[in-house]
Amino acid sequence: MRSLLFSACVVLAVLGCGGDMDENMPCSFCGDGYGYVSSSSGNSSSSDVLMESSSSGEESSGSSSSESSGSHIKCGGDDYDPSTQFCFFKDNKIYDKCGDREHFPDASAVCSNGNLVFNYGSLYYEGQTYKTIKIGEQTWMAENLNYDVTNSKCNEGRPDITLTPSEILVNCGTYGRLYDWATAMAFDVSCNNTSCSDQIQSKHRGICPIGWHIPNEAEWNTLITTIGGSLTAGTILKTISGWEFGGNGTDNYGFSALPGGYGVWDDLGKCGFWRSTLSNSGATGVLYMFYDGENAPFSNQDSKYNGISVRCLKD
């Protein structure tokens, strides 16, 4: 049994939490999404988030609360209170929360009375004004594109739900429109059947406003790295309301990812965002988020005809 538990712990450490683990280190759970939590009383490394027990030799009950009997949380050797603070694995620093949400001093936001207030910019394009947000060194649209162009569509709901035309238009205003790849890239629809890779620019505008473009994979990865990695990116980027089945996120940076749906079904528990770059095999790619997932994985296998949301990135 101990061997099975240790094997599971190693998988969690390598795939879900980061950091090296010792065979004598009891397995607990992933804490804060940025480092592994352990009941070991050994020294913490510069990249570990540890829950240490003051009772030597006793395994943790699995609680990450600093109020647990004889337990506290460490971040790079320093104690912190998880009810008001958190450890960011990327730089191994302790930050204060804003209410119950993580708040980074370099984000475009202030903490006011326990609430995050984002300093949004604005962008007018084709009859609509969009919010924009700076995250790290990048400036993103903080809403899904809602540009009415041929071959785009509004979210029409699942097959078991019939929406009225006015309800469908409301969905467009809330979730933006869905685009096949060729339409998003402002290519001829025939490019959904062929590569058209020779037409892709380094900062490919597509249907974005002048001075903005469809992000490529490297640019999406820059965003994911800035916010702490793909394993928790879904939770961090998703809105705090609007996702089915309680699958809301924390929206720590104001990106406000909404479940616009994707593919042939318009599921309000899922969303995807096109990237401009193609894989070596010529397949396109989508950054996905799900109501029941904390991560934000890429897929290289989607049909170019699928209806997917667009987020534009400033040049």
Q: What is the mean pLDDT of the chain?
A: 75
Asked whether residue 296 is assigned to any structural domain, the reply reads yes
pLDDT at 291 over 60: yes
pLDDT per residue over 182-224, tens digit each? 999 999 999 999 889 999 999 999 999 999 999 999 999 999 9
Kindly state whether residues 62 and 179 are assigned to the same domain.
no
Asked whether residue 47 is assigned to any structural domain, the reply reads yes
Kindly state whether residues 152 and 272 are assigned to the same domain.
yes
Range of the domain at 237: 121-314
- Of the candidates 284, 281, 283, 261, which has an alpha carbon nearest to the alpha carbon of residue 272? 261
Kindly state whether residues 29 and 129 are assigned to the same domain.
no
The residues facing 31 across adjacent strands are 35
Per-residue pLDDT at 285: 81
pLDDT per residue over 134-192, tens digit each? 999 999 999 999 999 999 988 776 666 777 888 888 888 888 999 999 999 999 999 99
pLDDT per residue over 92-138, tens digit each? 889 999 988 888 877 788 899 888 899 999 999 999 999 999 999 99
Asked whether residue 113 is assigned to any structural domain, the reply reads no
Asked whether residue 250 is assigned to any structural domain, the reply reads yes
pLDDT at 240 over 80: yes
Kindly state whether residues 153 and 302 are assigned to the same domain.
yes
Asked whether residue 215 is assigned to any structural domain, the reply reads yes
Asked whether residue 226 is assigned to any structural domain, the reply reads yes
Per-residue pLDDT at 136: 92
For 97: left if phi > 0, alpha if psi spans -120 to 50, otherwise beta; the answer is: beta
> 59 or 298, which is more confident?
298
pLDDT-derived band at 266 (thresholds 50, 70, 90) equals: low
pLDDT-derived band at 66 (thresholds 50, 70, 90) equals: very low
Per-residue pLDDT at 124: 98
Kindly state whether residues 36 and 181 are assigned to the same domain.
no
% of the chain residues with pLDDT over 70: 72
For 230: left if phi > 0, alpha if psi spans -120 to 50, otherwise beta; the answer is: alpha
Kindly state whether residues 273 and 129 are assigned to the same domain.
yes
pTM equals 0.74
pLDDT at 18 over 80: no
> 60 or 79, which is more confident?
79
For 7: left if phi > 0, alpha if psi spans -120 to 50, otherwise beta; the answer is: alpha
Kindly state whether residues 67 and 175 are assigned to the same domain.
no
Residue 283 — φ and ψ, nearest 5°? -80, 150
Kindly state whether residues 94 and 202 are assigned to the same domain.
no
> 168 or 83, which is more confident?
83
Asked whether residue 63 is assigned to any structural domain, the reply reads yes
> 26 or 80, which is more confident?
80
Residue where one domain finishes, among candidates 83, 98, 113: 98
pLDDT at 16 over 80: no
Kindly state whether residues 79 and 149 are assigned to the same domain.
no
Per-residue pLDDT at 247: 86
Count the domains in the chain: 2
Residue where one domain finishes, among candidates 64, 98, 132: 98
Kindly state whether residues 80 and 173 are assigned to the same domain.
no
Residue 187 CA to residue 184 CA, distance in Å, equals 8
Positive or negative: CA dihedral 74, 75, 77, 82: negative
Positive or negative: CA dihedral 208, 310, 313, 105: positive
Asked whether residue 10 is assigned to any structural domain, the reply reads yes
Kindly state whether residues 178 and 73 are assigned to the same domain.
no
Kindly state whether residues 51 and 165 are assigned to the same domain.
no
